[in-house]
Amino acid sequence: MQPPRRRRVGELSFVLLLVVFSLFMLWQAYSISKFESITSAGAFPMFATAVMVITGLLIAGQTARAKPLPGPDGESQWQQFLREITPGVLVGFTVSIAVYMALLDVLGFLIASYLFLVVSMWILGSRRIVLNFVVSALSLAAIYIIFQTVFSVVLPAGTVLKGLMS
């Protein structure tokens, strides 16, 4: 006989988010054609998302009934969640992406992307700072040449560079 399944930290929250997303998609599918007939444009999307909602609810029920896994050394569920679901690398990289998005308009594509590449390599574990600078510069040069010359894409210059050049 198989031992009862134990619930991992964050599993119930994830399943509930999937159910909410499935309900939203069902509403979106319904808004396509309001289910006028079985052959209408929204019939198959509504059927598929209804299956998503039903199976999501079944999985949510099973997950809610499962007992949570105990944390090591009496660790609370919240501490377990922080350790397993939001490790420092993930949080740091997410913050660096948000900062990059904010700086893109101010510093422009070249400077913001260069800083992002250097910082993200460091966050992801590369401690060879000189190599990070060189690889970032070469990567960005290749991206710039390809997009600027081959595809003729105008990359954002940023307000700081525009202010310095005016």
The pLDDT tens digits for 134-149 are 999 999 999 999 998 8
Could you give the C-alpha distances from 22 to 13, 30, 54, in angstroms and in order? 14, 12, 9
Low-confidence ranges of the chain (pLDDT < 70): 1, 161-166
For residues 33 and 40, the answer to whether their CB atoms sit within 8 Å is: yes
Give the model's pLDDT for residue 124: 94
Q: Considering the entire predicted model, what is its pTM?
A: 0.63
Give the model's pLDDT for residue 163: 58
Give the model's pLDDT for residue 80: 83
Tell me the longest C-alpha to C-alpha distance in the chain.
76
d(CA 91, CA 123): 10
Our CA angle for 21, 26, 30, nearest 5°, is: 150
Q: Which of 142, 131, 136 is nearest to 100 (CA)?
A: 136
Give the model's pLDDT for residue 99: 97
Give the model's pLDDT for residue 133: 97
